[in-house]
Structure 1
Amino acid sequence: MKIIELKYLVLALLCAGTTIAQTSKFDKTFKTNKDVTVHIDARHTQVLVEYWDKNEVQVSAFLEGGQKDNSNEALMKWKLDVDANASEVRINSTGAPGHPGDFNMAGLQAPLAKLPEMIAPLTEMIGPMLENLSGQPLPPEFFASMSEVKFDYQEYQKDGEKYLQKFEKKMEKNFGKDFEKAMEEWAANFEKDSAKWKKQELKMEAWSKDFEKDMEAWGEKFGKDMEKWGEEFGKEMEAWAANIERQAESQPGNGKKRVIIIKDGSSAKKVLKVKMPGSGQLKLDVRYGEVKLAGNTNNLRGNISHSKFSAAGINGKNTNLKVAYTPVAVKTWNYGVLNAAYVQDLRIDKALSIKLDSNSSDVHIGELSENGILAGSFGELKIDKLASNFKSLDITLENSDLELDLPESSYNITYNGTNSEVNYPKGLKLSTSSNYDNQKLKGYNGSQNSGGTINIHAKFSDVLLK
């Protein structure tokens, strides 16, 4: 009887071992230098990075969740390459099976179809309004760039991620430096012509108030529509990315293509776990996944898009991180550069020194301790606390909202706003000057020429200092 029970126990252990083996893709440790560089290029993969005091890099890749019956097939479709030597470890992980055109992407068609309809009024309404206001024809770059905002759904079905990358580059090109330069030149001519209107100032002031109300009402509606569209598209995109893992392709002998969609609950998450020396450097390129960094990451170089990003600590003056369409949560940011585009939720609990450039993003910094160079357009910036012994804070805004909680300590402050509104505490000792649509403030809190400095430049923005 005991022998039979022992056989069953051994059999059970063997089966368990087989099950575990079916969910593991890779597990190996490499001897490296303490300053090793780890490159991670991942798609549709959850990336976990930890640090230890060993001169080794441990790479583990495995499936998490999903139905065990499909583990072998999922592992076969998971393309994973690891190359390592003492000074460098390269990891490449791609998770999407099959050809992009074979995936069922009907869920994305509705939100993508709405995009051109929502952008069209921007050209039809804003263009004539700006031309009537300024008396200056808008530059050709304005209409050319707006007309190019077209998402080719059929091409997206055909090429998938490749087309997304092409579309993003196209948008960056259309609304890049050339577009900005052309609009700046138009604005400069607008300002020159504004001197001619001095005799009609009262008339223009009344007209501009009506225009401002109309623009504010339209802008508010458009902003809400875009925000709603962004949330819906984000949810659809996230669901689509998850469902990719549930789709498998087969090719019958007659040459006809057939797509098999596995039911919900069968998909397993691809997880890449890396342990590396604390003094090493991490380089990331991640799309449609998730990144979690434990401990302190030194001199991070990364490009993250359509993912989720969280980190315990970011250190190193050589840090340079770019995020797009990616929620960000960082406990401590000590040094480095952060570029954010289309990030609805970017939260840094505490920043020591940071250079931030954000576009169409909402940024929330819990506390800024020493230095900040912050630039934002078409978004929101909120700083809950500026440390009493801070050194410098430079903020540049365009079409954005700023909320800044000022310290009680001494500091110097300047503000230069164009077509902007600013509110500030009555206790500040300020000198003010205004010229047409420009307002300047200069002064201090507490003692003059002591403490830190705050410089704010704003265009078409709302600034709240409290």
Structure 2
Amino acid sequence: MAGQSFGQKFDKKYSDTFNVQKDVEVEINASNAEINVTTWSKNQVQVNAFIEIEGLDKKEAEKYFKNWNFEALGNKSKVKITAKGNNRFPFKNDFVFFNDQNFVMPDIDFENFDAIVLPEMNFDFDFDFKDLKVLEGLESLESLEVLKDFDSWVGKDGDYNFTYKDGDNKIEIKSKKDWEKFKKSKEYKKLKEKMKFDKEKMRKDLAKSREEIRKQIEENRMKIKIDKQKIRESLEKAKAELKKLKLNYSADQNSITIDGKKVKIKKRIEIKVPKKATFNLNTRHCKVKLPNTVAYGSVRYGAFDANALAGGDLKIYYSPVTIQDLNACNLFLNNVTDATIASVTNAKLSNSSSGVKINKVNQNVNITHKFGDLSIDEITSDYASFRLLLDYANAHLGLKNITAPLNFDIGKKSPLFPEKAALKMTLGDNKRKEINGNFLINSSDKNFVIKGKYSQLVLKN
């Protein structure tokens, strides 16, 4: 059966060139694009962006070109390149297909929308008490209660100091003599009567205020119900729009079908920079290829390939990684299931839930690996300083170049693998050790350290 044709193809090119200093910073904010960076001997940054569309008519394609958020701005010290998604289609970002990359489209299960349950929401009620009587008279009532009990506590510590103010009348008692005199006065009798009256008034005010507070709480509960209903209505509307979209994806042809139309979009950005240029990356769903350079920022949900990272601080998420040389750089890998680094020197590498393969570790390397697999084929004999922290990880290390005696402190074995021994060595094969659980391995000078927590480690000499 013949495949469905895409029909006409439309493309557009954007170009710009900037005269820059040799150590220019290039900032890239992009989504859904293939980014290829090369160096040249000129003190210029040249940017060429290409977009190619199949499956739309000319009018629709022109709308897409017009709305693509592409921009290149710069001066001598910095060039900023922005290539974000297009809102022509009701997606957060567009779908882009790389020529040489297998793309897997996740299933969209509309049935899950019906399973969405709104959680109970706790609100901090901001009551307006300006019309309530609940606080009126509390201060005077407190003073009157003190006056009532004055006989029982006055004189206990030899210090008497009581002040009460009622309108224009102010009563001060500084001694027991003042108190005895005050008890015989008309003011005392008036205050006793006032105390009885105020307490009764407070009881009535509190009862009234409780009812008003109850009404306010009920009103707020109704508001919450209305807000939750609005959220449900919005979710239903979004669900209906997605169902109308009739979205289909063909893995065989790298195409997306929208309302019966097969659409294929390719975006490519080619950048030429001076050899000492540095990069600040913020990319999502991009295939990024860099030369020998310094890089900062983050790469998410794409692919990353660099000849050499010679400095910087880079975070990579959910993207396959290939780096020939990692030098004087901080690199964080999160959920990177396929990372290959040929050489690591003077670097700090932190991995979480990732699979990392390192061919050779050179001088001054610090690695933290939490969850996932790590393999190091070789550690140079002049490593200077090597630190490896394993946390719920599985690691294989080649130690054929390590001649320094190593101390082994084997602790409790991992509960994840209770059937395995804490330390396993095979008779006649002293070149392989298998360690399970908590352990500390170090040289006498503490320049070589491997620490494991509930981890599996295989050492090969």
- Short-chain TM bin: 0.5 to 0.7
The residue that corresponds to 1:462 in the other structure is: 456
Q: 1:320 to 1:238 in 2, by over 3 A?
A: farther
CA distance in 1, matches of 2:271, 2:441: 51
Supply the AA of the counterpart residue of 2:72.
Answer: V
Residue 366 of structure 1 and its aligned partner are, at CA, apart by 0.9
Check if 1:347 corresponds to 2:340: yes
Give the TM-score of the pair, scaled to structure 1.
0.56
Of Structure 1 and Structure 2, the greater strand share is in: 2
Judge conservation of contact 2:14–2:49 (CA < 8 Å) in 1: yes
- Give me the CA root mean square deviation: 4.0
Supply the AA of the counterpart residue of 1:109.
Answer: D
Check if 1:313 corresponds to 2:308: yes
Residue 438 of structure 1 and its aligned partner are, at CA, apart by 5.3
Q: Secondary structure at the match of 1:107?
A: coil
How many residues get paired? 302
Q: Which has the larger radius of gyration?
A: 2
- Stretches of 4+ aligned residues off by more than 3 angstroms: 64-74, 96-99, 101-106, 110-113, 154-159, 236-239, 412-428, 437-443
CA distance in 2, matches of 1:282, 1:303: 11
The residue that corresponds to 1:126 in the other structure is: none
Judge conservation of contact 1:25–1:75 (CA < 8 Å) in 2: no
Judge conservation of contact 2:56–2:261 (CA < 8 Å) in 1: no
Judge conservation of contact 2:55–2:264 (CA < 8 Å) in 1: yes
Residue 440 of structure 1 and its aligned partner are, at CA, apart by 4.7
Q: 1:389 to 1:102 in 2, by over 3 A?
A: closer
Judge conservation of contact 2:48–2:271 (CA < 8 Å) in 1: yes
CA distance in 2, matches of 1:55, 1:102: 34
Judge conservation of contact 1:353–1:368 (CA < 8 Å) in 2: no
CA distance in 2, matches of 1:351, 1:76: 44
Q: Secondary structure at the match of 1:344?
A: coil
Identity percentage of aligned residues: 27
The residue that corresponds to 2:79 in the other structure is: 89
CA distance in 1, matches of 2:273, 2:379: 34
Supply the AA of the counterpart residue of 2:269.
Answer: L
Counterpart of 1:410 (choices 403, 412, 422) is 403
Residue 350 of structure 1 and its aligned partner are, at CA, apart by 1.6
CA distance in 1, matches of 2:321, 2:333: 9
Which deviates more, 391-400 or 68-77?
Answer: 68-77
Q: 1:407 to 1:84 in 2, by over 3 A?
A: same
The residue that corresponds to 2:109 in the other structure is: 109
Judge conservation of contact 2:55–2:261 (CA < 8 Å) in 1: no
Q: 1:418 to 1:73 in 2, by over 3 A?
A: farther
The one-character-per-residue Cα deviations of 1:264-293 (angstroms, maximum 9, x if unpaired) are xx4131111111111121111000121011
Structure 1 unmatched runs, 5+: 1-18, 117-151, 160-235, 248-259
Structure 2 unmatched runs, 5+: 1-7, 96-104, 117-231, 240-247, 415-421
Residue 262 of structure 1 and its aligned partner are, at CA, apart by 2.8
Judge conservation of contact 1:101–1:158 (CA < 8 Å) in 2: no
Q: 1:418 to 1:269 in 2, by over 3 A?
A: farther
Alignment of 1:291-306 (within 5 A): 291-293=288-290, 295-297=291-293, 299-306=294-301
Q: 1:374 to 1:276 in 2, by over 3 A?
A: same
CA distance in 2, matches of 1:335, 1:54: 26
Judge conservation of contact 1:340–1:358 (CA < 8 Å) in 2: yes
Residue 407 of structure 1 and its aligned partner are, at CA, apart by 2.6
Q: 1:35 to 1:102 in 2, by over 3 A?
A: closer
Q: Secondary structure at the match of 1:267?
A: strand
Give the TM-score of the pair, scaled to structure 2.
0.57
The residue that corresponds to 1:262 in the other structure is: 261
Judge conservation of contact 1:57–1:275 (CA < 8 Å) in 2: yes
Judge conservation of contact 1:413–1:453 (CA < 8 Å) in 2: no
The one-character-per-residue Cα deviations of 1:158-203 (angstroms, maximum 9, x if unpaired) are 59xxxxxxxxxxxxxxxxxxxxxxxxxxxxxxxxxxxxxxxxxxxx
Q: 1:103 to 1:357 in 2, by over 3 A?
A: closer
Alignment of 1:192-231 (within 5 A): none
